[in-house]
Copies of this chain bind each other. A is one copy, B any other.
Amino acid sequence: MITKREQIAARKRAADMIRQAGIRITNDEAAAIEVVDFGLSNLEKEGVQVLTLVQTERISVKVLALFPNQTEPEHWHPPVGDDPGKEETIRVIAGKVYFYTPGEDSFKDGFLLDGKEECYTMRHELVLEASDQITLQPGEKHWFQAREQGAVMYSFSTTARDVLDQFTDPDIVRTTKIIEK
């Protein structure tokens, strides 16, 4: 959970990063940025900020902002009914993103959170910078991490059903609880 105040601050910070990266967004869009702590109550370490630009039954376009040294936990997009699962292309706009996918263990410059090694099983490392992109197939496990500068990226995909995503960490709950305080 996060407090309402933390949510507002994280939203503002993410909107500033997105605009700094050259992506023009409206004030209404900035105010709708989703702050996601994955139910872990440790937003600065494990979380992501998400601005949804397009969400239809067929496609989805989001802008993702990662704060410095923030990690989006390992997850995958399972089949849903007739849909084989979300196919997603991540394109980095600003910052450097350490991206982990299936493949040979080449883990080198990323870091694992203390005591959470088992929640991050993909160790094939790709370092993506501005204008680099990667396409993830449905079901392909992945996680990613920003460093000192943070990062801003687009996610272009087939329709997103975020609450049905699956995570390696059994403690994760996709819906962030916001408490008044």
What residues of chain A have their CB less than 8 Å away from a CB belonging to chain B? 22-26, 29, 53-54, 56, 58-59, 61, 87, 89, 91, 93, 130-131, 133, 135, 156-158
Contacts and interface: CB of A to CB of B under 8 A. Distances in A.
* Copy count, this protein chain: 2
Contacts of A133: 53-54
A17 to B, nearest CB: 14
Given A22-B23, A156-B156, A59 B89 contact: yes
Contacts of A23: 22
A131 B27 CA distance: 10
A130 B61 CA distance: 17
Contacts of A130: 24
Contact of A53 (B54, B91, B157): B91
